[in-house]
Amino acid sequence: MTRRIIFSLLTLLTISSCVHLNSVSLTQIPEKRSNKVDASTEKWIIFFFNFDNDYVDRLNDQLKDRCQGGKVQGILTKDETTDYFLALVMKRKVTATGFCSKA
């Protein structure tokens, strides 16, 4: 019985996850907010080894593609970390949402 309890506790510890919101930022919101655009990118990190943050650069290109010929304003960005397996494996996710205004 004791082995079963210990095994259950270890299993719960290793399959559990936790989400952290690292930062949020917001630019000035425009008056006309009809065309909403969003973009997101993520990266898996194993054993705390993260050698670059280049994955975040894709957000800019994604927002430009979704608002061709316009300007993205009122951008809300969120940086989240999800820890898995006692924080040995992490997923970093950055999302950006804004409004496309075409002149």
Q: Is residue 27 part of a domain?
A: yes
pLDDT of residue 99: 94
pLDDT of residue 13: 66
pLDDT of residue 100: 93
31 secondary structure, DSSP code: S
Q: Is residue 73 part of a domain?
A: yes
Range of the domain at 56: 17-101
pLDDT of residue 1: 67
Q: Is residue 48 part of a domain?
A: yes
Task: Say how many domains are in the chain.
Answer: 1
pLDDT of residue 83: 87
Residues 6+ apart with CB under 8 A from 26: 74, 75, 76, 77
**Spans of the chain below 70 pLDDT:** 1, 12-16, 86, 103
